[in-house]
Amino acid sequence: MSLPPGYTLVIIPVPSRPEATAFFLWLKRMKELERQRDALWYGLGMVEQAQDWYNQEIQSIQQRLRHSGEAPRERASSSLVNRPSLLQDKIQHINWCLSDFISSADRMFLPHCQTEQPDLEHLPRANVRRSQQQNLEALKRQNYWLTKEVSKKSQWITQLEQEKAVLIKQLLEAQLEGYTQPGCDSSTFV
């Protein structure tokens, strides 16, 4: 039997079946803990990368704030204006997810915190509670995104209404100018 590099096969004779079962469960628990440790190390690396990125962005924004008062610039295009707001939305979402993860990780029933086998009578109730909690978290996330979407649409509608009001005002002004000038046909503004 060939094994991947870095692994060693150890065969330990165990005198009885209950001892073998206990040893197998202990080994399984150790493997789960090692997987959890590896996932935590990976997550820590990602958090460090995120921290570096956050620091770079903060420095970049501070530089832009320092230099923004030096010379007035022409009005930016709408695509450049939307990029920071989209980035801010994503940053807020990531911050919310991290906060949610940290607060829920403290309340979770973790296997390494378990000192004895769970009472089989309470296990279904715990599964129902966990399922309800997951549903609640999913609804909270969905509510968050729907609220953000409604807010964006509301801002867009407000902007369109303002543009409409400006256009109507310009049309009325143009019609008034047309009436005051002799020889102009007012039907051209209809």
Separation of alpha carbons 20 and 28, rounded Å: 12
| Residue 84 included in any domain | no
| Residue 2 included in any domain | no
pLDDT in tens, 152-179: 888 888 888 899 999 999 988 888 887 7
| Residue 92 included in any domain | no
Domain limits for position 50: 10-62
Separation of alpha carbons 174 and 181, rounded Å: 11
Is the pTM higher than 0.85? The answer reads no
**In the predicted model, what is the mean pLDDT of the chain?**
75
| Whether the Cβ atoms of residue 92 and residue 148 lie closer than 8 Å to each other | no
Q: In the prediction, which pLDDT does 113 show? A: 43
Among 79-88, 147-156, 159-168, the range of highest mean pLDDT: 159-168
Distance from the Cα of residue 130 to its chain's centroid? 22
| Residue 21 included in any domain | yes
| Residue 123 included in any domain | no
Question: Does residue 32 have a pLDDT over 50?
Answer: yes
Question: Domain count of the chain?
Answer: 2
| Residue 17 included in any domain | yes
| Residue 83 included in any domain | no
| Residue 82 included in any domain | no
Among residues 62, 77, 105, which one ends one of the domains?
62
Alpha helices in the chain (DSSP H): 17-67, 78-107, 123-180
Please tell me whether residue 110 adopts helix, strand or coil conformation: coil
Q: In the prediction, which pLDDT does 4 show? A: 58
pLDDT in tens, 48-78: 998 999 899 899 888 888 888 766 555 555 4
